[in-house]
C-alpha cells in the first residue's frame, strides 16, 4: 500500500486506518556518506485505533517486517461496487483475507419517501410507497392500503383481495428471480444471470398487461384497485404458468445440482435461529434457520387463509439453504396463482373498489383506446352528470378524503420478510406520520454475524443471500 507524502492520513470517525508501514529513506547519500532526512516524510503516530505508519516507497518485504503491530487493513467495499446490491457500503477490517470486523453503512439512496407521504393525500401516498422496495412494489402498496382501510374501517371487495393476492405472488416470483440473477452474477455465473433476468421479464410482461406498468404500479388503491383486470387475463396467466413450470426445471440443473454452486454457498453466511430472533430477522433468512414464520399463514390477510400452500423451512441456516427456500417459494407462488383463477371466474363482474363515493377514487376508471388517460366516454359521463358530481370528483382528486384519527400497524409477508406500515392520522386528508418497517433494513443487521471470521470472498455470498434492496433500506 502506498500513500502520497502530503496526503491527509486521518481516518473517519470510528474507522481504523490500515496499519501499513514505516517509510524508507530513499534520499541520495551525501559525499560524506551520511543520509539526509526527507523533510516531507511523515513519521509514525498513535491514534485511538493504534499506531499508524506512513508509506513512501521502498521494498514491500522490508516494509512488512518493519511494522511491528498487527497487520490489519480496513477497506471499503461499496457504495460503488457491483457486488453490494446497489449503493451499500461495507467497511471491512481484514487480516489477510479474513474478515475480522465488518460494518454496514447505509443512507446513500435516501429519498425522503416517508416524509413526502405526510404532505400528500392518502391516495397519493401509494405512488410513493411503491418506490421503496422497487423489486416488490405491490407488497408495499398492499400493506399501505390495508393500513388506510383499517383506519377508515372499511374492507376491500372480495375480487380486489383476489387480484391483490395474484399480483403479490407474481411480484414475489419476480423478486426471487432477481435474487437468482444478481446472486449468480456476483459469484461468476453469467448463465444464471441471463436465466434469472429472462424469467423476470416474463413476469414483468404479465404485470404490465394486468396493471399497465412493469414496475411502480400504483394499481392497488385504498378501498380496492384502480381498475379491474383486462380481458384475456386468464389465458395470459395460464400461458405464463405453463412456461415457468417448464423453465424452473432448468434451475435444478444449473444451480441445485451443481457441485460448484453447492460448495460455494454451503456453510457460508451461517446464522442460527437464536441469532435471527435476537436481530429481528424475518423472511427466507429466518425460515432457513428452521422457523416457519410466514405472515400469510400466521396472520392471514387478503384472504390468504383460503389458499392451499406450504411454507418451506430448512435447518442449515446458510446461503445455500436460503437459495433452496427461494426456489421453493417460487413454486409455492405458482400454486397460489393457479388457485386465484377459479376465484376470479366466480367473481367476474363484481366491483374491485368500495361503493363509498367519498373514498373510491378512481372508482370507475376507463382507459382510452390509446392506453393513456381516461376514455372520452368516461370524461363525458363525469362532465354530463351534474355540476355537483364534477365538483365532488375535483375535490376528491385534489383534496382527498378525511381519515378518522388513530394509528395502525399492518404487516404483510414480502419476499424479504415482514413488511409493516405504521400510519398515524389526525383526522385530516393526509397522514400525520407514516413509517415503514422495511425487512431489508432489519435483515442487513445480520451481515456482521454472517461475515466476521470468514473470507472476504464469502462476504459477497452473505450479502447476496440477504438480498437487500437499498431503495427500501434508505427510503
- pLDDT, residue 189, reads 82
What DSSP string describes 155-182?
Answer: ---HHHHHHHHHHHHHHHHHHHHHHHHH
Lowest mean pLDDT among 9-23, 60-74, 161-175, 251-265: 9-23
pLDDT at 351 exceeding the cut of 50: yes
pLDDT at 1 exceeding the cut of 50: no
Residue 158 resides in a domain: yes
Domain of 412 in residue numbering reads as 113-361+400-470
β-strands 224-225, 406-414: how paired?
Answer: unpaired
- pLDDT, residue 53, reads 61
CATH at residue 191: 1.10.645.10
- pLDDT, residue 261, reads 87
Residue 67 resides in a domain: no
- The pLDDT of 175-192, averaged and rounded, is 88
**What does residue 138 show for φ and ψ, rounded to 5 degrees?**
-70, -25
- pLDDT, residue 4, reads 40
Residue 340 resides in a domain: yes
- The pLDDT of 364-384, averaged and rounded, is 58
What is the band of 149 on the pLDDT scale with cuts at 50, 70, 90?
very high
- pLDDT, residue 212, reads 85
What DSSP string describes 296-361?
Answer: HHHS--TTGGGS-------S--SHHHHHHHHHHHHHHHHHHHHHHHHHHHHTTT--SB-S-TTT-T
94-142 pLDDT, tens digit each: 888 899 988 888 888 898 999 999 999 988 899 999 999 889 999 999 9
pLDDT at 34 exceeding the cut of 80: no
Question: When comparing pLDDT for 7 and 365, which is higher?
Answer: 365
Residue 66 resides in a domain: no
99-112 pLDDT, tens digit each: 998 888 888 889 89
- 8 Å CB contact between 433 and 400: no
pLDDT at 276 exceeding the cut of 80: yes
In the chain, how many domains are there?
Answer: 1
Q: At what angle do helices 376-385 and 387-398 cross, to 10 degrees?
A: 120
Q: Judging by beta carbons within 10 Å of its beta carbon (0-12, 13-18, 19+), is residue 13 exposed, middle or buried?
A: exposed
- pLDDT, residue 191, reads 86
- pLDDT, residue 373, reads 53
- pLDDT, residue 29, reads 41
What is the band of 148 on the pLDDT scale with cuts at 50, 70, 90?
very high
pLDDT at 216 exceeding the cut of 70: yes
Tell which residue, 6, 19, 458, has the closest CA to residue 264.
458
pLDDT-above-90 percentage for the chain:
43
pLDDT at 282 exceeding the cut of 90: yes
Question: When comparing pLDDT for 164 and 387, which is higher?
Answer: 164
- The pLDDT of 301-307, averaged and rounded, is 93
* C-alpha cell of residue 439: 425487512
- pLDDT, residue 183, reads 87
Question: When comparing pLDDT for 186 and 24, which is higher?
Answer: 186
- 8 Å CB contact between 52 and 45: yes
Residue 51 resides in a domain: no
pLDDT-above-70 percentage for the chain:
80
DSSP H helical ranges for 252-272: 259-265
Tell which residue, 72, 78, 77, 69, has the closest CA to residue 97.
72
**Mean pLDDT over all residues of the chain?**
82
- The pLDDT of 267-291, averaged and rounded, is 91
- pLDDT, residue 74, reads 84
* Cis geometry, peptide bond prior to residue 98 (ω within 30 degrees of 0): no
What is the band of 258 on the pLDDT scale with cuts at 50, 70, 90?
confident
- 8 Å CB contact between 230 and 357: no
- The pLDDT of 177-200, averaged and rounded, is 88
- pLDDT, residue 63, reads 46
Question: When comparing pLDDT for 267 and 381, which is higher?
Answer: 267
Residue 29 resides in a domain: no
For the entire predicted model, the pTM comes to 0.80
- pLDDT, residue 17, reads 39
What is the band of 434 on the pLDDT scale with cuts at 50, 70, 90?
very high
pLDDT at 242 exceeding the cut of 90: yes
Residue 15 resides in a domain: no
- pLDDT, residue 432, reads 93
- pLDDT, residue 84, reads 74
- 8 Å CB contact between 448 and 463: no
> In whole angstroms, how large is the CA radius of gyration of the chain?
28
Residue 80 resides in a domain: no
318-331 pLDDT, tens digit each: 999 999 999 999 99
What is the band of 19 on the pLDDT scale with cuts at 50, 70, 90?
very low
Amino acid at each position: 500500500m502506498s500513500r502520497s507524502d502530503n496526503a491527509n492520513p486521518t481516518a473517519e470517525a470510528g474507522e481504523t486506518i490500515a496499519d501499513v508501514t514505516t517509510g524508507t529513506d530513499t534520499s541520495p547519500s551525501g559525499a560524506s556518506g551520511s543520509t539526509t532526512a526527507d523533510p516531507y516524510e511523515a513519521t509514525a503516530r498513535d491514534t485511538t485505533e493504534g499506531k499508524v505508519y506512513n508509506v513512501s516507497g521502498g521494498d514491500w518485504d522490508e516494509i512488512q517486517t518493519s511494522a511491528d503491530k498487527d497487520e490489519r487493513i480496513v477497506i471499503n467495499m461499496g457504495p460503488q461496487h457491483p457486488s453490494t446490491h446497489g449503493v451499500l457500503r461495507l467497511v471491512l477490517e481484514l487480516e489477510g483475507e479474513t474478515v475480522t470486523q465488518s460494518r454496514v453503512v447505509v443512507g446513500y439512496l435516501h429519498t425522503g419517501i416517508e416524509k413526502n407521504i405526510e404532505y400528500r393525500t392518502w391516495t397519493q401516498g401509494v405512488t410513493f410507497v411503491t418506490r421503496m422496495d422497487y423489486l416488490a412494489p405491490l407488497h408495499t402498496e398492499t400493506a399501505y392500503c390495508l393500513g388506510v382501510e383499517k383506519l377508515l374501517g372499511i374492507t376491500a371487495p372480495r375480487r380486489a383481495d383476489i387480484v391483490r393476492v395474484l399480483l403479490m405472488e407474481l411480484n414475489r416470483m419476480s423478486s426471487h428471480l432477481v435474487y437468482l440473477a444478481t446472486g449468480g452474477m456476483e459469484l461468476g455465473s453469467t448463465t444464471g444471470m441471463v436465466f434469472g433476468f429472462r424469467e423476470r421479464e416474463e413476469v414483468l410482461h404479465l404485470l404490465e398487461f394486468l396493471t399497465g406498468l412493469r414496475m411502480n404500479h400504483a394499481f392497488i388503491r385504498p378501498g380496492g384497485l384502480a381498475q379491474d383486470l383486462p380481458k384475456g387475463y386468464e389465458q395470459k396467466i395460464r400461458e405464463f404458468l405453463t412456461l415457468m413450470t417448464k423453465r424452473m426445471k432448468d434451475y435444478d440443473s444449473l444451480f441445485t445440482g451443481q457441485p460448484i454452486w453447492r460448495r460455494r454457498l454451503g456453510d457460508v453466511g451461517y446464522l442460527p435461529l437464536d441469532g435471527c430472533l435476537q436481530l429481528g430477522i424475518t423472511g427466507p433468512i429466518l425460515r432457513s434457520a428452521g422457523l416457519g414464520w410466514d405472515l400469510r399463514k400466521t396472520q392471514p390477510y387478503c384472504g390468504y387463509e383460503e389458499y392451499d400452500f406450504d411454507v418451506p423451512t430448512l435447518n442449515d441456516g446458510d446461503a445455500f439453504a436460503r437459495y433452496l427456500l427461494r426456489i421453493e417459494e417460487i413454486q409455492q407462488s405458482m400454486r397460489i396463482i393457479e388457485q386465484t383463477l377459479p376465484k376470479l371466474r366466480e367473481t367476474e363482474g363484481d366491483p374491485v373498489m368500495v361503493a363509498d363515493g367519498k373514498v373510491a377514487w378512481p372508482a370507475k376508471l376507463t382507459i382510452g383506446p390509446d392506453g393513456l388517460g381516461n376514455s372520452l366516454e368516461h370524461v363525458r359521463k363525469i362532465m354530463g352528470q351534474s355540476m355537483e358530481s364534477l365538483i365532488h370528483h375535483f375535490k376528491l382528486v385534489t383534496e382527498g378524503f378525511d381519515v378518522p384519527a388513530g394509528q395502525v400497524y399492518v404487516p404483510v409477508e414480502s419476499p424479504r420478510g415482514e413488511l409493516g406500515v405504521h400510519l398515524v392520522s389526525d383526522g385530516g386528508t393526509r397522514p400525520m406520520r407514516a413509517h415503514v418497517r422495511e425487512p431489508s433494513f432489519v435483515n442487513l443487521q445480520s451481515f456482521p454475524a454472517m461475515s466476521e471470521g470468514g473470507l472476504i470472498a464469502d462476504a459477497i455470498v452473505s450479502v447476496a443471500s440477504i438480498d437487500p434492496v437499498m431503495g427500501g433500506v434508505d427510503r
